[in-house]
Amino acid sequence: MKKEKLISLLNEGLSVEEIPTITNLKEIEEVVKKFNFDAETSKKLNEKIQRLEKETIGHANAFSSMIKITAQEK
């Protein structure tokens, strides 16, 4: 697979349109490590992965809080 195609696929996979799972992000992170990207591309992809990990955890925490509130109201 050509680097350009792989970068395009990774960028699609790292879009913020859907919230990825931590497992998916870890798998993508492994692909980035194994593929020999130039330093700038690796940095950009890793920054996206880290940002999405934080957002995913934030969404999970917010959802857990909503469940707790709902359970307490019952």
pLDDT tens digit sequence for 39-66: 998 898 889 889 888 888 888 888 888 8
Mean pLDDT of the chain: 79
If one counts the domains in the chain, the total is 1
At residue 18, the pLDDT reads 62
At residue 9, the pLDDT reads 64
CB environment 29-40: b (16+ within 10 A), e (fewer): eeebeeeebeee
Residues 6+ positions from 14 with CB-CB distance below 8 Å: 20, 28, 45, 48, 49, 52
Instruction: Print the domain residue range for 48.
Output: 3-73
